[in-house]
Chains A and B, each alone.
Chain A
């Protein structure tokens, strides 16, 4: 337990000490939130109705997809996991503790946004704070860990992360309502974890009509998160110099299976 606490405290502090992580966990999400509050609410006043969930999902994506994988790859490249291995640090801790500390950073920023959005930008406050927020952040955290595990280097980390991040920004309902998208694009949109997160959030916290049953979205995120984390543990490689590794990195695609299944639950 002492080892876990020490490790968690260290990783949490790293999220503040490391300038890249500080940018991804706090500065970029909060600056984007401020910009959206100042600009987007003027351009599209109805944005205030979905601003809190959109910003919370955005924060989760930035911290977990853009922030989490890089340090995992860099640690492997720098031989840090070799030091960990010879000192008995288990793979489960190496992956779960950074993911958990990232989730804590996301929850802190999500709380800041949720409590300031109404007074600052007339954002509509959710009626129900459910565990689906935690499920959302867990699903993204697991995906971030999986990307970190399968990426051969920092450049490919950016590629894999952006493959999920960019379409999510455009198609998941963060910036514009899902129902204005063409039918064919809407199906593609439902393949994205951010879409499932937005649907769960809007349905359960705001009692809004959604194109996917909110509880089905929560289920998809939960199964997707568990699968992604399980695959991350299975595919974890201690050492980039070691040519023997367990499993093919392409197995990571299995983590998207729940989202494919979830897309078929679209109304």
Chain B
């Protein structure tokens, strides 16, 4: 994962975007930018407004307020100009039940006026399913096909809505590799996901949505660093002297014993680890295992959403 985007060129720009469904405000004044060569994550619980926002950016729905543009094109007023610039894997979409895999590639490539990318089908594990009809594919294969179709015309901007839902471990890893390659080639990827591990691993920056508003934004590392979450320092020694000794180490606010490990919750792990190692040395004990785990994005996400977005 690259810490910063390749360039600072803004590719997707959203300003004070609003979306209403009757009286329900689904998205309320959201603003963000995504840059070239960046994977930008949209995180949020169900109903947070992620899909509404993506569908407006993709030109499928009309926004009720604010402005948005993709490479200078307004999706609401110029959706046709957008078609060859974006690749979209929708959360809810389908293909005709009787459409074969190779037919689907030929069909959509022709509408994008590009040669069919059968190599993508091979890469995504569909090479042996070229003659299979859409309704004969498993959910995972259907999602892989949707992804191959989204990539076939080499769009500079990709919208992926829960791309790994229903994928097995191997396919998921392959998709992640593919996303990294595309990012390295300069593509901008807007990734909506519920999978925090995926967001933490894949995205350069994320925005956390809650009840139609962005409540936190930044790189996963920045977000996890700014929370009240503690770094977990787990220690196991030969004589387990730490388990019986409740010595106060610097920056530790809480201590627990679990099986053969003593776990310290530290606000500043450097001094804590240093003091623990020194203590073990002075006690003539022997270190067997030491693990330092910073708070995960998932823990930070839960912290933010449970507090209702108040930080």
- Chain B's nearest CB lies how many Å from the CB of A13? 7
CB pair B88 A80 closer than 8 Å: no
CB of B288 closer than 8 Å to a CB of A: no
List A contacts of B108 (CB < 8 A).
87, 89
CB pair B92 A10 closer than 8 Å: no
CB pair B94 A79 closer than 8 Å: yes
CB of A14 closer than 8 Å to a CB of B: yes
Q: Which of A2, A13, A18, A86 contacts B97 (CB 8 A)?
A: A18
CB pair B60 A85 closer than 8 Å: yes
- Render B45-62 as a binary contact track against A, CB cut-off 8 A, 1 for contact: 000000000000011111
Number of residues in A with C-beta < 8 Å to the partner? 26
CB of B70 closer than 8 Å to a CB of A: no
Partner-contacting stretch, out of B99-107, B202-210, B303-311:
B99-107
Measured CA separation A29–B90 after assembly (Å): 39
Output the residue of B96, B103, B133 with the most chain A CB within 10 A. Answer: B96
CB of A75 closer than 8 Å to a CB of B: yes
Output the residue of B79, B86, B88, B111 with the most chain A CB within 10 A. Answer: B111
CB pair A243 B149 closer than 8 Å: no
- Chain B's nearest CB lies how many Å from the CB of A235? 18
List B contacts of A244 (CB < 8 A).
61-62
Q: Which of B124-148 contact A (CB under 8 A)?
A: 133, 146
Measured CA separation A10–B110 after assembly (Å): 13
What's the interface size class on B, roughly? 20 to 34
Dominant SS at the B interface?
Answer: loop
Q: In the complex, what residue of chain B is closest to A4 when comparing beta carbons?
A: B110
The total of Cβ contacts below 8 Å across the A-B interface reads 74
Q: In the complex, what residue of chain B is closest to A241 when comparing beta carbons?
A: B92
CB pair B83 A83 closer than 8 Å: no
- Chain B's nearest CB lies how many Å from the CB of A1? 9
Q: Which of A14, A82, A86 contacts B98 (CB 8 A)?
A: A14
CB of A88 closer than 8 Å to a CB of B: yes
Q: Which of A2, A17, A75, A86 contacts B90 (CB 8 A)?
A: A86
CB pair B90 A88 closer than 8 Å: no
Q: What 13 new A-B contacts, CB under 8 Å, besides A7-B110, A83-B146, A86-B93? A: A2-B110, A6-B103, A6-B107, A7-B107, A14-B96, A18-B97, A82-B93, A83-B93, A86-B58, A86-B83, A87-B111, A87-B112, A239-B60
- Residues on B lying within 8 angstroms of A by beta carbon are 21, 58-62, 79-80, 83-84, 86, 88, 90, 92-99, 103, 106-108, 110-113, 133, 146, 149
